[in-house]
Chain A
């Protein structure tokens, strides 16, 4: 178990749970970041933030502070 912000390039896993402040949880889920979904880290931007992740069907950029709310299981 880890959180998405701690994952390295090319690591992948499945989303176990999402816990973000306020409406962010619902927003992330509406965008397809659901428990059970596969994620893979594609890379990190030149200045160290945000990160680029691959989901099934789309790729997304999110900041580490947002990635922190996603728990990932290998």
Chain B
């Protein structure tokens, strides 16, 4: 155990060790190589300020040398159009706070399509970093009859070339040796020579920067400024948009004058150079062998059968989550309930400590752990779907559904998972590599109706809709509540993209990776990591918040509240049961279970009403009056901000029934039906019931989701998500109540 802790601690970025960056196109096996090189000595986090995952770990190269390895996001070029590509550029030019420039860049390339992968390698070598080329997926190339002369390629490029099969661990020792060597004797790749006009244009840019005392750029950065119109480098140099346009246009005109098209000159020249390098390096079979993947692909991307398979797969995944997670969640719930009881009995003589430990700590921890089964199962499947290459096909099939609101097909799985629970949904948004789409998906995921909202719907529909309108309408309302979030979420996605991110449409070009047999160990490993991530980050926040909410609902707790409530109770009970008050007092003294049980529930209700939370509920009730909520419902709403399912037990307490009620409790339904305003009109009318449901459907009453959003997208965005959803929920509830009442009056 201590060794594990020790090695994880070593994985922190340490200036003394060698820094290695793993770079390559998506799906080249970079992560597989990273896992093999670092083993358990790795960590994940975010790059500062962006929703791009940062993974780093420690690898020992030989007995005396350790390296810190960073697994960079997959990218096709250094043009840095999106934030994850920009991270690659920033790491290579040392612009990430807290990290050094990498000493060695390991470029991972796909042996089955080597030429295209060398494009990025050539760009990276230009930045001056010492490059090692790892040609991965050698086994896949062999099975397609492709052979690669690594030695010849290494001679021509003048850099070490390591053939590799990361998934089987082949070539990794050679890679470690090559990294060490490339550190001790930095490599310098033979690269293309730019025509004179390009040199003149970059020289012009350099002089303009110098003349205006803007930031200096290195020659490769000047190339990016020249070639890439939306280059991320632009916002670093401190030019105004007009200055930038003027200088860059001028430099590009210089290319035009030399008959070079500034948009295409870079790829054209690079590929021409690479074509020369690659001559006789790769031998393709004379007849192209049809891979098994092609016929599978024909089925899986078919307009009709593809959809059927997709629906069946998704159904299977979510069926497994529901049926698999359910018993585990019940078991967790049961265990924590049992633990609470045992500890509760031990602490009986210190009521406050007892309540803190049982209702605050144990219930809080239980409320975190309960999400674990869903997260683990979903991430296991996501890993499999990604590693087999199916996820890209799913994104292809679903893309049109999301393209109009600025998202893309990759949002489908995270949003679908959010119907079970927003937490794995938000975490699953990591599979979306465009950071803006990822952020938008994270912001709308909690609007999907998760399973924790179900008890609220069941309670209110069962109590108010079904008895009046029958089960068909009740089912329709239940379905409508589930649809509501989705129907509102997509226009909101459009709004965020237009108003906040100011993008019209981002291109969506997705390479379909070859089908591969997934590695079970990797899938389990990733599943475990996600679970751990969740427990560590969300857990602490949720625990802290649970204690705060517990304190608000526990304090102040004066003796006189209980005494007063007991007097009131005795009078009421005596009147209701035609007993003398003395007799009731005797029954209580004698410990008659029926009477004391009811008395305890009344005292609990009185305490809650007197608590800070109860007072807050009464104070903010006017705010919820336009939605038709009374103070009890308002307290329920406030109490359920940490976790929406708490509403049921809170209502149980406010209605003097105790916390042990569920959504089908006759007692609770009966009390809510007979609740009256002081003027005698019922508290719960159909519009009120609907308004409460709409509020719960749209509000982010889940601390765990909030914590996970904070971790995945930053606390600012979590706060934004919380705010917009709360405002939206309030408007939704008021709208529902007002329109519902208006229709009711018309009828």
Mostly, the A contact residues are mixed
A52 to B508, CA, bound (A): 12
How many chain A residues sit at the interface, stated as a range, is 20 to 34
Q: In this assembly, does A25 line the interface, its C-beta being within 8 Å of a C-beta of chain B? A: yes
A61 to B510, CA, bound (A): 5
| Set A22, A34, A59: member contacting B267, Cβ < 8 A | A34
CB-based contact A62/B267 at 8 Å: no
How many chain B residues sit at the interface, stated as a range, is 35 or more
B116 — which chain A residues lie within 8 A by C-beta? 31-32, 57-58
CB-based contact A26/B507 at 8 Å: no
Q: In this assembly, does A7 line the interface, its C-beta being within 8 Å of a C-beta of chain B? A: no
Q: In this assembly, does A72 line the interface, its C-beta being within 8 Å of a C-beta of chain B? A: no
The digit string for B101-129, where 1 denotes a CB below 8 A from any CB of A, is: 00000000000110110011000000000
CB-based contact B399/A45 at 8 Å: yes
CB of B125 to closest CB in A, whole Å: 15
A1 — which chain B residues lie within 8 A by C-beta? none
Contacts A31-B76, A42-B301 given; does A58 touch B400 at CB 8 Å:
no
A57 — which chain B residues lie within 8 A by C-beta? 112-113, 115-116
Q: Using CB atoms, name the residue of chain B closest to A69.
A: B507
CB-based contact A60/B399 at 8 Å: no
CB-based contact B508/A59 at 8 Å: no
A45 to B120, CA, bound (A): 30
A49 — which chain B residues lie within 8 A by C-beta? 399-400, 403
CB-based contact B264/A25 at 8 Å: yes
CB-based contact A58/B512 at 8 Å: yes
| Set B81, B231, B271, B403: member contacting A34, Cβ < 8 A | B271
| Set B76, B397, B507: member contacting A66, Cβ < 8 A | B507
Q: Using CB atoms, name the residue of chain A closest to B25.
A: A31
Q: In this assembly, does A47 line the interface, its C-beta being within 8 Å of a C-beta of chain B? A: yes
List B470-511 residues whose CB lies under 8 Å from chain A: 505, 507-511
CB of A69 to closest CB in B, whole Å: 10
A52 — which chain B residues lie within 8 A by C-beta? 301, 396, 512
Segment at the A interface, from B302-310, B616-624, B713-721: B302-310
CB of A51 to closest CB in B, whole Å: 9
The digit string for B238-274, where 1 denotes a CB below 8 A from any CB of A, is: 0000000000000000000000000110111001000
A34 to B301, CA, bound (A): 25
Q: In this assembly, does B634 line the interface, its C-beta being within 8 Å of a C-beta of chain A? A: no
Q: In this assembly, does B230 line the interface, its C-beta being within 8 Å of a C-beta of chain A? A: yes
CB of A7 to closest CB in B, whole Å: 16
Contacts A43-B302, A52-B301, A59-B297 given; does A65 touch B505 at CB 8 Å:
yes
Contacts A27-B79, A30-B77 given; does A48 touch B400 at CB 8 Å:
yes
CB-based contact A28/B266 at 8 Å: no
| Set A35, A45, A59: member contacting B397, Cβ < 8 A | A45
Q: In this assembly, does B401 line the interface, its C-beta being within 8 Å of a C-beta of chain A? A: yes
Contacts A32-B116, A42-B301, A46-B303 given; does A26 touch B79 at CB 8 Å:
yes
A59 to B267, CA, bound (A): 19
Contacts A22-B230, A66-B508 known; 18 new A-B pairs at CB < 8 A: A18-B264, A23-B81, A24-B507, A27-B507, A31-B76, A31-B116, A32-B116, A34-B267, A45-B399, A46-B307, A52-B301, A57-B112, A57-B116, A58-B116, A58-B511, A60-B510, A61-B395, A62-B510
